[in-house]
């Protein structure tokens, strides 16, 4: 079975958010199941400059009102996964990965259509087109509109995976006319959404998936559905939730070169050396008995950074240290900056993208705070557990599906709370701080968290089953 996997970012080539981890790791896991999965990515200037070895494999062109638009296509390989890199004028228009809404909509629609044109050009016929998020949505819409009677595309099925519902792309009406993409039957979409790439993808893909079972249910409600809950309810028989995994080679505390001391669950005692090294690296008092709280995140309303800043004020009389690593919203950056300069003895705000430091934070801190307002899956809690750092999470989406509360089970792997309010978060943090004092129980908790299996294997098998079902429907 051949699968064309389209995404706007994929590790290790290009990463902005969690989508990149999935697009970098899932195709690899699927290939171990003997699927011929190939990744398609825009050939961003950062990839061109990275020194990646590429080979030019051909040209493709897409219909456009100003004359056909040409794409040059290169192939490469990353960690055993073949990659098609799509280049062309709309992609060269921007320096970065994401730019202005107008540039992006043109760039990503061109990318989506050119990737399909390429398959025809080189005669590589996929069974499944698997598109991710709004950037790739038009590939499934195009397929839906054009495959009947087309000998190349007729039996091809589509899967569209949603990683983050509120990011729908911007008004694509002009671009859709330019690229002559006629989309049939969008009557069941709310009128405001009919020109937005993501809703178009949701309405036209054969199958929809999202990255956790809980998020798949949540997006069918008005609280999480962003106005598309009606559409998602109407497609619920076609919507599945498949949890993301983590690559157990990429995230492995027994051999992570970024750590000062590697460790496993059998020698959890040696983990404390990482904590001390981290405290000293960041100029905090190097005391293993002070609970070290951390957050590694995009600074975004979604992630509830504001809730943490408020909650810390409420436990200010307790002993703890706090590290926040990340960039994003400037108002939140300002608030974090202010709080850390008020408490220079115990709070560090590292306002940059620092993947190696992030690993040391997972490997050295005691509690990872993840109070997301919504979380389709979430990666931080999975890495944290693998690295023996106990997650404190809001019970929503993938967080709910992967972290079990300690107190309600006497077992569990973390601390969970319900309402998106700093008070509720504060209570959960407090429970963590209280248990931290009990070393033996804490280590049991760490071991349990580290032993959880979140490898991609199971998810890959679920995608495999979904592909088989989708393909089966096309070939009858």
- Name the phi and psi angles at 12, rounded to 5: -90, 10
Size of the site for ligand GLC (CB under 6 A): 14
CB of 267 to ligand GLC, least distance (A): 30
- Give dist(CA 342, CA 36) in Å, integer: 54
- Give dist(CA 391, CA 227) in Å, integer: 31
Binding-site string for ligand GLC from residue 194 to residue 213, where x marks contact by CB under 6 A and - marks none: -----------------x--
Toward ligand GLC, which CB reaches closer, 84 or 215?
Answer: 215
Residue with the CB atom nearest ligand GLC in the bound state: 18
Q: How far from 109 is each of 6, 68, 86, 99, 349, CA to CA, in Å?
A: 12, 14, 12, 14, 38
The helix (run of H) or strand (run of E) holding residue 387 is: none
Q: Quick one: which segment of 12-20, 90-98, 144-152, 384-392 binds ligand GLC (CB under 6 A)? A: 12-20
Toward ligand GLC, which CB reaches closer, 22 or 259?
Answer: 22
The answer to whether the CB of 370 falls within 8 A of the CB of 272 is: no
**Binding test (CB under 6 A) with ligand GLC, winner from 38, 130, 135, 163:** 163
Toward ligand GLC, which CB reaches closer, 322 or 454?
Answer: 454
What is the token pair recorded at 153? Answer: 């595309």
- Name the phi and psi angles at 459, rounded to 5: -60, -45
Binding-site string for ligand GLC from residue 105 to residue 144, where x marks contact by CB under 6 A and - marks none: ----------------------------------------
**What would the DSSP string read from start to end of 424-467?**
HHHHHHHHHHHHHT-HHHHHHHHHHHHH----HHHHHHHHHHHH
Toward ligand GLC, which CB reaches closer, 215 or 322?
Answer: 215
CB of 10 to ligand GLC, least distance (A): 11
DSSP 212: S
Toward ligand GLC, which CB reaches closer, 11 or 413?
Answer: 11
CB of 210 to ligand GLC, least distance (A): 8
Alpha helices in 260-353 (DSSP H): 272-281, 305-314, 330-342
**Binding test (CB under 6 A) with ligand GLC, winner from 104, 206, 375, 401:** 375
The answer to whether the CB of 183 falls within 8 A of the CB of 109 is: no
Q: To the nearest 10°, the Cα dihedral for 418, 423, 425, 429? A: -130
CB of 18 to ligand GLC, least distance (A): 3
What is the token pair recorded at 138? Answer: 């038009």
Toward ligand GLC, which CB reaches closer, 212 or 321?
Answer: 212
Q: How far from 462 is each of 180, 212, 328, CA to CA, in Å?
A: 35, 12, 33
The answer to whether the CB of 197 falls within 8 A of the CB of 167 is: no
Q: Quick one: which segment of 16-24, 76-84, 95-103, 175-183 binds ligand GLC (CB under 6 A)? A: 16-24
CB of 378 to ligand GLC, least distance (A): 5
Toward ligand GLC, which CB reaches closer, 291 or 376?
Answer: 376
CB of 133 to ligand GLC, least distance (A): 8
Number of H helices, E strands in the chain: 19, 15
Binding-site string for ligand GLC from residue 232 to residue 251, where x marks contact by CB under 6 A and - marks none: ------------x-------
| SS3 label, residue 133 | helix
The answer to whether the CB of 28 falls within 8 A of the CB of 11 is: no
| SS3 label, residue 94 | coil
- What value does the CA radius of gyration of the chain take, rounded to a whole number of Å? 23
- Give dist(CA 428, CA 425) in Å, integer: 5
Toward ligand GLC, which CB reaches closer, 88 or 197?
Answer: 197
Toward ligand GLC, which CB reaches closer, 244 or 262?
Answer: 244
CB of 167 to ligand GLC, least distance (A): 9
Which region holds residue 274: left if phi is over 0, alpha if psi is between -120 and 50, else beta?
A: alpha
Toward ligand GLC, which CB reaches closer, 22 or 350?
Answer: 22
The helix (run of H) or strand (run of E) holding residue 44 is: none
Toward ligand GLC, which CB reaches closer, 22 or 40?
Answer: 22
Binding-site string for ligand GLC from residue 24 to residue 43, where x marks contact by CB under 6 A and - marks none: --------------------
**Binding test (CB under 6 A) with ligand GLC, winner from 4, 8, 9, 17:** 17
The answer to whether the CB of 85 falls within 8 A of the CB of 75 is: yes
Binding-site string for ligand GLC from residue 376 to residue 415, where x marks contact by CB under 6 A and - marks none: xxxx------------------x-----------------
CB of 139 to ligand GLC, least distance (A): 18
Residue 19 sits in the site that holds ligand GLC (CB under 6 A): yes
Cβ-based neighbour number of residue 99 at 10 Å: 12
Toward ligand GLC, which CB reaches closer, 15 or 146?
Answer: 15
Residues that bind ligand GLC (CB under 6 A): 17-19, 22, 163-164, 211, 244, 375-379, 398
């Amino acid at each position: 079975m051949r699968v064309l996997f389209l995404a706007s970012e994929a590790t290790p080539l290009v990463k902005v958010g969690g989508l990149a981890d999935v697009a970098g790791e899932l195709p690899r896991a699927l290939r171990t199941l003997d699927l011929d999965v190939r990744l398609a990515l825009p050939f961003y200037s950062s990839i061109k400059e990275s020194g990646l070895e590429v080979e030019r494999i051909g040209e493709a062109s897409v219909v456009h009102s100003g004359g056909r638009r040409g794409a040059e296509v290169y192939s490469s390989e990353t960690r055993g996964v073949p990659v098609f890199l799509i280049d062309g004028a709309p992609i060269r228009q921007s320096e970065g990965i994401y730019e202005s809404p107008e540039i992006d909509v043109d760039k990503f629609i061109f990318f989506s259509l050119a990737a399909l044109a390429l398959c025809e050009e080189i005669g590589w016929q996929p069974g499944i087109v698997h598109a991710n998020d709004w950037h790739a949505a038009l590939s499934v819409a195009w397929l839906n509109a054009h495959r009947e009677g087309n000998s190349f595309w007729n039996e091809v099925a589509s899967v569209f995976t949603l990683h983050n519902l509120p990011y729908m792309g911007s008004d694509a009406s002009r671009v859709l006319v330019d690229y002559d993409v006629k989309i049939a039957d969008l009557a069941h979409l709310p009128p405001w959404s009919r020109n937005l790439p993501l809703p178009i993808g949701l309405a036209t893909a054969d199958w929809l998936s999202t990255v956790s079972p809980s998020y798949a249910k949540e997006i069918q409600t008005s609280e999480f559905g962003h106005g598309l809950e009606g559409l998602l309810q109407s497609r619920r028989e076609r919507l599945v939730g498949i949890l993301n995994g983590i690559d157990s080679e990429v995230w492995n505390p027994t051999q992570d070169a970024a750590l000062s001391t590697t460790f496993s669950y059998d020698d959890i005692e040696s983990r404390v050396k990482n904590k001390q090294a981290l405290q000293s690296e960041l100029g905090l008092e190097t005391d293993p008995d002070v609970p070290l709280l951390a957050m590694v995140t995009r600074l975004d309303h979604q992630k509830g950074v504001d809730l943490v800043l408020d909650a810390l004020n409420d436990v200010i009389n307790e002993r703890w240290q706090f590290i926040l690593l990340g960039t994003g919203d400037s108002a939140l950056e300002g608030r974090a900056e202010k709080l850390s300069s008020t408490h220079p003895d115990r709070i560090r705000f590292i306002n940059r993208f620092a993947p190696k430091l992030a690993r040391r934070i997972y490997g050295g801190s005691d509690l990872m705070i993840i109070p997301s307002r919504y979380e389709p899956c979430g990666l931080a809690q999975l890495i944290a557990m693998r690295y023996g750092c106990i997650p404190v999470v809001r019970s929503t989406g993938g967080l709910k599906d992967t972290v079990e509360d300690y107190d309600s089970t006497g077992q569990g792997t973390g601390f969970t709370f319900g309402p998106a309010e700093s008070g509720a978060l504060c209570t959960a943090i407090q429970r963590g701080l209280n248990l931290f004092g009990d070393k033996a129980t804490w280590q049991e908790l760490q071991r349990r968290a580290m032993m959880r299996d979140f490898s991609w294997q199971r998810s890959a098998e679920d995608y495999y089953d979904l592909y088989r079902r989708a393909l089966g429907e096309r070939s009858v």
